[in-house]
Structure 1
Amino acid sequence: MCTVVVRVPASPHEPVRLLAVRDEDPHRPWNPLGAWWPDRPGVVGVQDRLAGGAWLAAKPGRLAVLLNRAGDPDLPADAIESRGGIVLDSVEGAAPTGRPRTLGFNLVEVDGTTVTATGWDGHDLRRVTLGPGTHMLAHDDVDDPTTARIRMWLGAFTEAPTDVPGDAWWEPWREVLAATARLSPSDDRAIVRDNRAHGYPTLSLLACVASVRPGEADVRYAELESPGHWNPLRFA
């Protein structure tokens, strides 16, 4: 039940801006943003240690990040594959096609200043290109008003500028994220979340911000000091 906010520029001369908040079982080990895949030179990402894949990965000019969504393919349990490889393949230019042998997912892909979102519900694979503007994605469709956190916060992220002077372009979005954390982490409108009240063992653990343009990808990482509880994130 991760959350992604992405701003697609109207001009190809401006960068894509992205904020991604990761929800995961805090007992599932991960490695922070780094170059964990020696067979994929130039790729950095947040690695899932158990499966070896990535939640988010980037290389110059490209980025991909995966969010879980409901959906079981018509396969035996031992034939279902990890979703982590999808991100690594995507950032190398291989988008998912056909009928993935994984549980459901949403995949956000940035290629230069083009942003696409691919949704897999176990039955249908749907891919859309996002138009200029600010978009949000969680466990259902892009900008879905039936998703409580999107309905509550998309307007605030849209109004917050990301062309502020200096390097910390993400500060206005971080302020919005801080405002969302005034809600209880179990509130369905929350972005910094404790999903155990909803039957999932996942809590918000970390966030990344990224600025992407052709040939460049600047990704920053920060962890929450306590899973599911807000502290001012220091992206580095």
Structure 2
Amino acid sequence: MCTVVIRVPEPENPTVRILAVRDEDPHRPWRPLGPWWPERDGVRGVLDELAGGAWLAHDDRRLAVLLNRAGGSTVAVPTSRGSLVLDALAGHPLPNPLTTLGFNLVVADRSNVRITSWESGSPRTVDLAPGTHMVAHDDVDDLGTARVAAWLDAFAGAPTEGERWWVDWIDVLAHTTLVGATDDRAIIRDNRPHGFPTQTLLVCVASIGAEGVTAKMATLREPGRWNELAL
């Protein structure tokens, strides 16, 4: 139940801003943002040690991040979704047929942000218009998703300019924790009462612009529990 906030700029100032919050089982091994794929020159990302793919990764031109959603393949052993992130950076099309579970795949470069969604049938894509958007485990900007309905306007109203452009978004993120980690509106989450073993583990911020891609991350000291972030 990850969450991603995206600011798509107007054409005259083409710098995309992204805030990505990862929920995962704390017992599933992973590695922080780094160059874990030597066969993929210039790629840095958050590695899933079990399957070898990435939750979020980037090169010097684009960034991709994956969010789970319901549905997907009915094969006995679904393929890891993390490979989709690395393939997106390489410009590869989605596998056909898809053999993963359902997903929202966000792929951003300085000229476009596209979200590909799949839960069965044919994948659906949407190119985001200028403005601020949120996506979790349903469609982008879906006001039926409690956290999107609760916080989209707050993120939209926060500036993202300057060297430390993420500060106001992190302030909004800190404010969202007032509802508690098990609330449907929560972004920093503890999903165990909802029947999932996942908790929020880390936060990434990223910019995609004329000078390339920059990304930073911070890990929560305790899964699902907010603390001040050193980004």
TM-score range, shorter chain: over 0.9
TM-fit CA distance, 1:21? 0.1
Superposition pairs of residues 185-200 of structure 1, within 5 angstroms: 185-200=181-196
Alignment TM-score, normalising by the size of structure 2:
0.97
CA distance in 2, matches of 1:99, 1:132: 32
Contact 2:181 2:189 in 1 (8 A): yes
Distance 1:116 1:73, change over 3 A: same
Q: C-alpha offsets along residues 52-109 of structure 1, whole Å, 9 cap, x if unaligned?
A: 100000001200000000013232x13x211010000001112425441100000000
* Partner in structure 1 of residue 26 of structure 2: 26
Equivalent position of 2:46 in the other structure:
46
- Give the structure 2 partner of residue 88 of structure 1: 86
Alignment of 1:78-227 (within 5 A): 78=77, 80-96=78-94, 98-163=96-161, 165=162, 167-214=163-210, 216-227=212-223
87-96 vs 133-142, which moves further: 87-96
Distance in 2 (CA, whole Å) between partners of 1:51 and 1:12 is 40
Normalising by structure 1, report the TM-score. Answer: 0.95
Q: Is the 8 A contact 1:99 1:123 kept in 2?
A: no
> How many residues align structurally?
231
The superposition leaves residues 15-73 of structure 1 with CA deviations (integer Å, 9 ceiling, x where unpaired) of 00000000000000100000000000100000000001000000012000000000132
SS of aligned partner of 1:182: helix
Q: Distance in 2 between matches of 1:184 and 1:45?
A: 29
TM superposition shift of 1:131: 0.4
Give the 4+ runs in structure 1 shifted more than 4 A: none
CA RMSD of aligned residues (A): 1.2
Residues 97-133 of structure 1 show CA distances to partners (whole Å, capped at 9, x for unaligned) of 5441100000000022310000010333101100000
Structure 1 residue matching 2:216: 3-state secondary structure: strand
Within 2, Cα distance between the matches of 1:214 and 1:85?
27
**1:117-168 deviations in whole A, cap 9, x for unaligned?**
00010333101100000000000000000000000000000000001x3x21
Q: Which moved more, 1:194-203 or 1:5-14?
A: 5-14
Q: Which residue number corresponds to residue 60 of structure 2? A: 60
CA contact (8 A) 1:111 1:214 kept: no
Matched, 1:231 2:227: yes
| Local SS of the residue matching 1:69 | strand
Uncovered stretches (5+) of structure 1, i.e. residues with no partner: none
Cα 1:88/1:187, change in 2 over 3 Å = same
